[in-house]
Amino acid sequence: MNDSGTVRKLRAIMFSDIVGYSKMMQSNETEALKILQKHKDVVTEISAKYGGKIIKHIGDEILIESESAVTLVQCAKELQKYFADRNATVPKSRELWVRIGNHIGDVIIKDEDIFGDGVNIASRIRPIANPGGIVITHSVLILLGNQDDIKCNFVGNKKLKNIKEKIQVYEVLLDSQLPSPKADDPFRFNRDNILKVVMPISLTLFFLFLLFFLMVFNNITDYEKDYFKSDLQSSRRITKDFKSIKNIKANYFNIKSAEQSDSQALLNYYSDMYGKNRDNPKASFFLGLSYLNFGSDRNLLDSAYIFLKKSEKLGINSMYFHIAMLDLYNILGAKSPAADLAGKLKDAYPENPLALFKCAEIYKDICRDDLEAVRLYRDALEAFPEYADAYNALSDIEFGRYNYAKAKILADSALAINPTAVTSVQNAVKVYACMSDFENARKILDALPDNSLQKYLENAKLSLIENEPAMALQCINDGQAEFPTKEELIQSYFAIQNIITLSDSIQQKESSVSGSKNQWTESWDEAVSKSSKEKKPLLIVALDNTSLNSKYLELVLSQKEIISVADETVMYRLFRHKDRQLLEEFGISEFPAMILADENKRVIRSFINSKGFITDKEVVHSFLSESVKLGKRIFEMDRDSEDNRYKTAKNFSHAEELALEFGLPVIVILTSKKYPASETYLKQTIFNPGFLKNYKKTILLSIEDADNSDLTKKYNVNKFPTVLFFDEDINLLSSKYGVMPQKVLAGEIDKVKLYRKRKDIPKDEINWIYDPEEAKTYSKMDSKPVFVYFSRSNGNSYFPEEPVFSHYDIIKKINSQYIPLFIDGGRNDICKDNGIGTLPSVGVMNMFGDILYHTALTEDEFALSCFLDNNNNTGILLSLGAGKFKSFLRQADLNFSLLRKKLYSSAGNELLLSIVKNPSYTYNLISFSSVLMNNNDFLAAEHYLELIKEKDFQISDKFLEILVSSYMMYEDFNRLSDFLNFLTEKFKNDPAALSSLYSALAEINLAQSKTIDAIEYAEKASQLDPKRVENLTLLGLLNYGINNSVSQKFFKSALILDPGNLSANLYLYKITNLPEYASISKQAYYSGDDDFFGLRYFDSNKNFPNPGILELRDRAYRLKLSLFPHETAFMHELVRFITDNKGDMSEALDISKLLLEKEPENPEFLSTTSWIFYNLGDFSEADKISTRALGNLSPDDYHNYPNLFYNIGMIKSAIGDNRSARYYFEKLLSFGSKEDFDYNKLDYAKRFIESIH
């Protein structure tokens, strides 16, 4: 090491470690922590007595160093004697056994810390000791040669991890193990006496060998060690001089240790290296790694993927390349390729700390296998005990398990290695803040140097968590004194200023209504008790003190009108930093949120604010009013009274009579003696005494021999058991077959009881089966394969958490084409038997229980839809064989991941290769067409879509969106109609596909303003699929303005299926002017629904020239603005639309002036205003305003404002400055991915440049 603060010395090292501490923590955390403290206290006291110095605590392990090996062994003996005496006097559960390992060797001393092989050997031999025992190395034994009171036994030559030579290990005999001395014992020629003679020679030879070993055989470099200890500056300082193209390791750590401020210099350096060595795989690798390390946007990631894959093609075969690919797969979320590569890498490099750590990251983040991740992180620590980020990762896992004490110990271990490492500090502060230990959290932050930006940002965040915004602002002010131009501090300053203003307003509101009956309850137990006692639902408000959105919600909740409604609830606040377990139980991951629940944590209604600030009280008032009604209904249902008790029907006619008399829903259980599960189901669930309370307020009918009953025939029931759910008017709401767990059946019953009064229809759901044997029975009966979902649940969940399973098409495909089977992946041997290591996963099983194929589940509707095409997949499986088919599925996962992240260049390359390899797989052609469409190459997209016509595939919304968007950008209406008509003939026997095709025909006729034809097609679509909400909203849109009463009818029908539908509520507000529709529309928008357009197959990011689409977009922008009249972003959207489509420029100018009054220097607003003046013919004013807009931008931000560069190009051209116009158009075309930009503008820019060459 070249660092002047680093020295090498010979030191005696001792490790003391508690036996079975992890198990103690699991069984009794409180007692384990007491034992841990006792261990620390005793070792501290006794080691000080012998001159030992405690270097650090690593979890339950303590590292001590001394100048004397002899005194350190004596210290170890006294420690073990103390613990043995103590253990004899305490209960077994409080015994404290330790193992001790001693070594002497060359160590590196730096900043009050020691490390090196000497430390590693002491750590590695410690586990060899018996509980209560001491082991030492041969080098220590040599120094004990003249110590008659210390006796040893030879244990053996031990191979230690990452130590090249075997180490001789000896056990120190404790006094209790020594034989009684004999007075006449003669002199013996034993090992101890020999050592007295040979000690000087042996000692000299040993240390000569040790120094030689340290210099020659130690393959972990200093810069690696610094990197592992999170000392990135030191690692970077060492590696910056080792950047030869031949040294792959040094270049890897040089790039990975670099700061963001070095990014451009590194990219330039490695771009230059690549330019000179284009055929060298290492040059491609270094450049790809540089892009990956600084890849904050998809263009950089796209470049990273391209260069990394090129290095692979050129033949690179390095551990560091594979590690880089793991990082890239992790970013992409490419689960199957990541899991496959991690499995190979951990086996290939079982002792490399970096490889083990990176594999652990994949198992933690991608595979969601915390057990394997923990094992690998611990292996990484075995390989290098001072790997700070491994401790941080283990801390994060324990934090996720709510084991905060363990998380704290591990976070402290990371800090002990490097107290100024930002990642370690942030992790520790997170843990301490969660434990509300703000004082120590601040002490940890104080360790960061004053020139650290993170010190000020983290201190400010901590102050906000403590609800001390004024203190947070002071932290930011201090930071701005050090970093006056840092954007992060400037943004934080304004955000905190707003939080302070809102906090003051909240205090004023709360003080003015302090006499109100409803107040926030202090604890969860108090809230539950109060809810149960007062028969009120719980209103749970989830807040994040660091979020401006949360403060806005708090302000609205402090209004008198809101408090009057909230008074009907028990109000309780959950905070992001400290209530993680409850937040997770309620499924809250976005903030702020409101949940209405009962005292049993049953969620009645939820509202997650994922977009914008809630500033109007009507939205919250509407949500609370409706929620309180539902809450009261639940308490009424649960009340134990004569009226609430369920009624038993003798037969279905009797059930109809009771439903009519009492106005109650009907639940019919159909079972058959031919199905063994039926009888068990009746006993264990249906008529289980503890379950009967769930039938309150219902009519219950059980038909035990239902094979040939009229009801079975009428409702087409062919599987048993089946449960039918009817409303009080005997309308069938839903049916579920298979043995449902009690929790699932109870939930279905609750749905019927809650929905019936509102006349809503519960949404279709997947009919999950929970027993593989039952699934196999149904599979044989229906001749359908089994679709298997392998969950990563803890055994308490019965439904997938992933939103992809709530998509209408996915539900229909799984229910109609498969028997759906839900398996708890963590508890079922099917996963292990079939090598399923990534959860959640999906698979296809045959009727005999064989898993035919499986893959990791991706959060992509189209990807899952492709997987569900069993005919297509089975054909490829048969042609490729099982082994190659696994590779095929991994490649498909990678392709979809690239598309999802919009890495279109990389996706296009991979898809072309996939098409060549498997030309029969239609979905690659569809995906490749989407790449071409997003690159504005619509003609090429059409070409590949034409190839699909005759192939076997299933209709999906994604396919139709690509098809419609590609043809309609060129207004190629006739050819598109022919294509769709061809498909309607091809899929004439598939009602779901035919419905979607008719919807597409309706939309393209709407685009051409052929409204009557569009309505005819939309009606056909709705007849084929009457429960599809989009069919009803499309009919509402088509009839709007022609016959508003008909339009209103369709929109209301849509709300029966989906009460929160944004389009239906928005148009009903426009038609009726009723405020409740406006409130629900706003709720839908705040919860993440921003589809104001209302069409399925026209990509909303594309500017279609079709007249019907232009009319619909104009209406959508104005409807949106009617909901949010002061929202500048929506005002700007309307102005842009008017100007781009040559609308009323005077209207556009009036709105633009309002925008500039609010934000006079906003570059987007100035750009749009300049474009208005261009359209008005005032080119001089347009030039002046566009120049002002450009002056407000940093060159680094130019690529975020493509419209400005197009506008300036057009303005310069209009005033005759073609040279400048060309410059700005070229700049526009040089920006990265432009798939969201108007294709026609790009096309004009290209043609202009060509015309003046």
Across 832-836, average pLDDT: 85
847, 877, 903 - which closes a domain: 847
**pLDDT of residue 48 exceeding 80:** yes
1235 in Cβ contact with 902 (< 8 Å): yes
Across 874-885, average pLDDT: 91
What does the pLDDT read at residue 183? 41
**pLDDT of residue 3 exceeding 80:** no
Whether 469 and 572 map to the same domain: the answer is: no
Question: Is pLDDT larger for residue 1239 or for residue 1151?
Answer: 1151
Whether 476 and 552 map to the same domain: the answer is: no
* Pick from 734, 738, 715: nearest CA to 725: 734
What does the pLDDT read at residue 191? 44
Q: What secondary structure does DSSP assign to 424-483, as a single string? A: HHHHHHHHHHHTT-HHHHHHHHHTS-TT-HHHHHHHHHHHHHTT-HHHHHHHHHHHHHH-
Residue 474: partners with Cβ closer than 8 Å, 6 or more residues away: none
Across 1234-1246, average pLDDT: 78
**pLDDT of residue 197 exceeding 60:** no
Domain assignment of residue 551, yes or no: yes
Can you give the CATH number for the domain in which 747 is found? 3.40.30.10
State the pairing for strand pair 538-543/593-597: antiparallel
Across 530-550, average pLDDT: 90
* Half-sphere exposure for 321 (CA within 13 Å, toward CB): 21
What does the pLDDT read at residue 331? 94
Across 673-678, average pLDDT: 82
**pLDDT of residue 718 exceeding 60:** yes
Helical H segments across 333-403, by residue range: 335-348, 353-365, 370-383, 388-400
What does the pLDDT read at residue 764? 86
Can you give the CATH number for the domain in which 405 is found? 1.25.40.10
Could you tell me the sign of the dihedral formed by the alpha carbons of 288, 291, 295, 298, in that order?
negative
Q: Using CA atoms, how far apart are residues 119 and 135, in angstroms rounded to an integer?
A: 14
What does the pLDDT read at residue 639? 72
**pLDDT of residue 694 exceeding 80:** yes
Q: Which pLDDT band holds residue 560 (cuts at 50, 70, 90)?
A: confident
Q: How far is CA 737 from CA 254, 762, 798, in A?
A: 60, 16, 15
What does the pLDDT read at residue 216? 34
Domain assignment of residue 1017, yes or no: no
Q: Using CA atoms, how far apart are residues 842 and 805, in angstroms rounded to an integer?
A: 12
**pLDDT of residue 134 exceeding 70:** yes
What does the pLDDT read at residue 627? 87
Q: Using CA atoms, how far apart are residues 605 and 81, in angstroms rounded to an integer?
A: 62
Across 1220-1232, average pLDDT: 89
847, 881, 915 - which closes a domain: 847
What does the pLDDT read at residue 190? 45
What does the pLDDT read at residue 514? 52
Domain assignment of residue 25, yes or no: yes
Q: Using CA atoms, how far apart are residues 998 and 515, in angstroms rounded to an integer?
A: 60
Could you tell me the sign of the dihedral formed by the alpha carbons of 828, 834, 837, 838, in that order?
negative
Whether 673 and 531 map to the same domain: the answer is: no
Which residue type occupies 637? Answer: M
Q: Which pLDDT band holds residue 212 (cuts at 50, 70, 90)?
A: very low
Q: Using CA atoms, how far apart are residues 469 and 554, in angstroms rounded to an integer?
A: 15
Q: What secondary structure does DSSP assign to 652-671, as a single string? A: HHHHHHHHHHHT--EEEEE-
Global pTM value:
0.79
1058 in Cβ contact with 1050 (< 8 Å): no
Q: Which domain holds residue 316?
A: 268-493
Whether 622 and 477 map to the same domain: the answer is: no
Q: Using CA atoms, how far apart are residues 583 and 606, in angstroms rounded to an integer?
A: 13
- 5 φ/ψ angles, rounded to the nearest 5 degrees: -85, 10
Whether 606 and 667 map to the same domain: the answer is: no
997 in Cβ contact with 976 (< 8 Å): no
**pLDDT of residue 211 exceeding 50:** no
Place of tokens 């200890």: 229
Across 334-338, average pLDDT: 94
**pLDDT of residue 200 exceeding 50:** no
Torsion of CA 1128, 1130, 1132, 1134, to 10 degrees: -150
Domain assignment of residue 673, yes or no: yes
Helical H segments across 257-352, by residue range: 263-276, 281-293, 298-313, 319-332, 335-348
Which residue type occupies 1110? Answer: L
**pLDDT of residue 204 exceeding 50:** no
Q: How far is CA 1095 from CA 97, 888, 957, 1023, in A?
A: 69, 34, 11, 18
Q: Which pLDDT band holds residue 834 (cuts at 50, 70, 90)?
A: confident
Residue 1157: partners with Cβ closer than 8 Å, 6 or more residues away: none
Domain assignment of residue 740, yes or no: yes
What does the pLDDT read at residue 182? 45
Domain assignment of residue 1052, yes or no: no
Q: How many CB atoms lie within 10 A of CB 1140?
A: 18
What does the pLDDT read at residue 911? 96
620, 638, 656 - which closes a domain: 638
122 in Cβ contact with 15 (< 8 Å): yes
- 4 φ/ψ angles, rounded to the nearest 5 degrees: -65, -20
Whether 464 and 365 map to the same domain: the answer is: yes
**pLDDT of residue 202 exceeding 60:** no
**pLDDT of residue 255 exceeding 60:** yes
Question: Is pLDDT larger for residue 224 or for residue 26?
Answer: 224
Q: Which of 89-103, 996-1010, 1148-1162 has the lowest mean pLDDT?
A: 89-103
**pLDDT of residue 513 exceeding 60:** no
Whether 353 and 489 map to the same domain: the answer is: yes
Across 105-109, average pLDDT: 85
Q: Using CA atoms, how far apart are residues 939 and 975, in angstroms rounded to an integer?
A: 12
Q: Using CA atoms, how far apart are residues 1251 and 1253, in angstroms rounded to an integer?
A: 6
What does the pLDDT read at residue 758? 53
Q: Which of 6-20, 29-43, 507-521, 731-745 has the lowest mean pLDDT?
A: 507-521
Whether 151 and 91 map to the same domain: the answer is: yes
Span 657-675, pLDDT tens digits: 999 999 899 999 999 988 8
- Cis check: omega of the bond before 353, within 30 degrees of 0: no
What does the pLDDT read at residue 938? 84
Whether 144 and 41 map to the same domain: the answer is: yes
Across 601-607, average pLDDT: 86
What does the pLDDT read at residue 218? 42
State the pairing for strand pair 699-703/647-648: parallel
Q: What is the DSSP letter of 764?
A: P
* Pick from 669, 604, 613: nearest CA to 631: 604
What's the longest Cα–Cα distance across the chain? 121
Domain assignment of residue 371, yes or no: yes
**Looking at the 3D structure of the chain, how many domains does it have?**
6
Beta partners for 16?
62, 100
Q: Which pLDDT band holds residue 452 (cuts at 50, 70, 90)?
A: confident
Q: Which of 179-193, 209-223, 528-542, 983-997 has the lowest mean pLDDT?
A: 179-193
What does the pLDDT read at residue 949? 86
What does the pLDDT read at residue 186? 45
Whether 626 and 708 map to the same domain: the answer is: no
Can you give the CATH number for the domain in which 36 is found? 3.30.70.1230
**pLDDT of residue 756 exceeding 80:** no
**pLDDT of residue 365 exceeding 60:** yes
What does the pLDDT read at residue 829? 79
**pLDDT of residue 493 exceeding 50:** yes
Whether 456 and 585 map to the same domain: the answer is: no
Paired tokens of 488: 């992060």
Q: Using CA atoms, how far apart are residues 900 and 858, in angstroms rounded to an integer?
A: 10
What does the pLDDT read at residue 195? 44
Q: What is the DSSP letter of 720?
A: S
Domain assignment of residue 989, yes or no: no
Torsion of CA 286, 292, 294, 298, to 10 degrees: 140
Whether 561 and 707 map to the same domain: the answer is: no
